[in-house]
Chain A
Amino acid sequence: MSTAVRYIDTTLRDLAAHPWGGSVDTEEIAEIAAGLAASGAAVIEVLDAFSARGALEGRAESPWDRLRATVRAAGSVPVGIVVAARTLFGSRPQDSGIARALVLGACESGARRVRIVDALNQVDALRPLAEAAVEGGAELVPTLMLGPVPSADDARWMEEARAIAALPGASAICLVDRAGHLRPAELAALVPQVIDATGLPVEISVVGPGALAPVAALSAIAAGASAVQAAVGAAALGGARPTVETLRAALAGGDQELVCDRARVQELGATLWSLVPADRLRQTQVAQAGPVLGLPLDLAAGLHSRLARLGLSSRLIDAADEAVRVAADCGNVTLAYPLGAAVVAQAVQHVIDDERWTDIEPVLVAAVNGEFGPLRGPIADAARAAAERAGQTTAAGADTVDEAPAGLAGEDRLLWAMFPEASQRLFDRRRSLVDDAAGDTAAPAVDRALIETLVDVVENAAQAEVSVEVGGARVTVRRAGSAPVGARPTGEAAPAAAPDDSLVRVESPIVGTFYAAPSPEAPAFVAVGDRVSVGQTLCIIEAMKIFNEIVAESDGVIRSIDVQNSEAVEFGTLLFTLEP
Chain B
Amino acid sequence: MKLLVANRGEIAVRVIRTAREMGIPTVAVYSTADVDSLAVDLADEAVCIGPPPANESYLVIRNVIGAAQITGCTAVHPGYGFLSENPEFARACAENGITFVGPSPDVMSRMGDKVDAKIAAQEAGLPVLPGSDGPVSSVDEARAAADAAGYPVLLKAAAGGGGRGMRRVESADDLATAFDVAQREALAAFSDGSLYVEKLLEGARHVEVQILADGLGGVLVCGDRECSIQRRHQKLVEEAPAPNLPDATRTAMHEACLRAAKTWNYTSAGTMEFLVDATGNFYFLELNARLQVEHPVTELVTGLDLVAEQLRVAQGEVLSLTGIAPVNGAAIECRINAEDPSRDFMPSAGPLNVFRLALGPGVRVDTYCREGGVVPPYYDSLVAKLCVWAPDRPHTVRRMARALGETEIQGVATTIGLLRDIAAERDFGAGTYTTSYLPEHVAVLPSLSRSAAQV
User: What is the interface of chain A, defined by CB distance below 8 A to chain B?
Assistant: 309-311, 510-513, 541, 543-546, 568-573
CB distance from A562 to the nearest CB of B (A): 15
> Is residue B388 within 8 Å, beta carbon to beta carbon, of the partner chain?
no
Inter-chain CA distance A191–B64, complex, in Å, is: 57
Chain B residues numbered 242-263 whose CB sits less than 8 Å from any CB in chain A: none
**Beyond A570-B47, A571-B63, is A543–B69 a contact (Cβ under 8 Å)?**
yes
Whether A512 contacts B70 by the Cβ 8 Å rule is yes
Residues of B near A544 (CB, < 8 A) are 61-62, 65-66, 69, 92, 95-96
Chain B residues numbered 25-67 whose CB sits less than 8 Å from any CB in chain A: 32, 47-51, 57, 60-67
CB distance from B215 to the nearest CB of A (A): 13
Residues of A near B63 (CB, < 8 A) are 510-511, 543, 571
Residues of A near B69 (CB, < 8 A) are 512-513, 543-544
Whether A511 contacts B70 by the Cβ 8 Å rule is yes
Q: Name the one of A510, A572, A573 contacting B62, with C-beta atoms under 8 angstroms.
A: A510
Interface centre among A309, A310, A311 (most CB of B within 10 A): A311
> Is residue B125 within 8 Å, beta carbon to beta carbon, of the partner chain?
no
Chain B residues numbered 92-144 whose CB sits less than 8 Å from any CB in chain A: 92, 94-97
Residues of A near B96 (CB, < 8 A) are 309, 544-545
Whether B32 contacts A572 by the Cβ 8 Å rule is yes
Residues of A near B66 (CB, < 8 A) are 510-512, 541, 543-544
14 contacts across the A-B interface (CB closer than 8 A)? A310-B95, A310-B97, A510-B63, A511-B66, A511-B67, A512-B66, A513-B69, A513-B70, A541-B66, A544-B92, A570-B48, A570-B70, A571-B51, A573-B48
Interface centre among B51, B67, B70 (most CB of A within 10 A): B70
Q: Name the one of B49, B94, B97 contacting A511, with C-beta atoms under 8 angstroms.
A: B49
Residues of B near A310 (CB, < 8 A) are 94-95, 97
Residues of A near B65 (CB, < 8 A) are 543-544
Whether A572 contacts B97 by the Cβ 8 Å rule is no
**In the complex, what residue of chain A is closest to B97 when comparing beta carbons?**
A311
Inter-chain CA distance A541–B63, complex, in Å, is: 11
Residues of A near B60 (CB, < 8 A) are 510
Q: Name the one of B49, B61, B62, B92 contacting A570, with C-beta atoms under 8 angstroms.
A: B49
**Beyond A510-B63, A543-B63, A544-B92, is A572–B70 a contact (Cβ under 8 Å)?**
no
Residues of B near A309 (CB, < 8 A) are 96-97
Inter-chain CA distance A227–B454, complex, in Å, is: 97
Residues of A near B62 (CB, < 8 A) are 510-512, 543-544, 546
> Is residue B71 within 8 Å, beta carbon to beta carbon, of the partner chain?
yes
Whether A571 contacts B71 by the Cβ 8 Å rule is no
**In the complex, what residue of chain B is closest to A514 when comparing beta carbons?**
B70
Whether A570 contacts B97 by the Cβ 8 Å rule is no
**In the complex, what residue of chain A is closest to B60 when comparing beta carbons?**
A510
Residues of A near B71 (CB, < 8 A) are 568
Interface string of B161-202 (1 = CB under 8 A from A): 000000000000000000000000000000000000000000
Interface centre among A310, A511, A541 (most CB of B within 10 A): A511
CB distance from B58 to the nearest CB of A (A): 11
Residues of B near A546 (CB, < 8 A) are 62
Residues of B near A543 (CB, < 8 A) are 62-63, 65-66, 69
Inter-chain CA distance A510–B71, complex, in Å, is: 14
CB distance from A81 to the nearest CB of B (A): 36
**In the complex, what residue of chain A is closest to B71 when comparing beta carbons?**
A568
CB distance from B104 to the nearest CB of A (A): 12
Residues of B near A568 (CB, < 8 A) are 70-71
CB distance from A39 to the nearest CB of B (A): 44
Inter-chain CA distance A510–B63, complex, in Å, is: 6
CB distance from A295 to the nearest CB of B (A): 22
Residues of A near B97 (CB, < 8 A) are 309-311
Inter-chain CA distance A460–B47, complex, in Å, is: 36
Known pairs A543-B63, A543-B69, A571-B32 / 20 extra A-B pairs, C-beta < 8 Å: A309-B96, A510-B66, A511-B49, A511-B62, A511-B66, A511-B67, A512-B70, A541-B66, A544-B61, A544-B65, A544-B92, A544-B95, A546-B62, A570-B47, A570-B49, A570-B67, A570-B70, A571-B48, A571-B51, A571-B57
Residues of B near A571 (CB, < 8 A) are 32, 48-51, 57, 63
Inter-chain CA distance A311–B67, complex, in Å, is: 18
**In the complex, what residue of chain A is closest to B29 when comparing beta carbons?**
A511
Inter-chain CA distance A458–B56, complex, in Å, is: 41
Interface centre among B60, B63, B95 (most CB of A within 10 A): B63
Chain B residues numbered 341-392 whose CB sits less than 8 Å from any CB in chain A: none
**In the complex, what residue of chain B is closest to A512 when comparing beta carbons?**
B66
Closest 4 pairs between A and B when the two form their complex, measured CB to CB: A543-B66, A568-B70, A311-B97, A511-B66
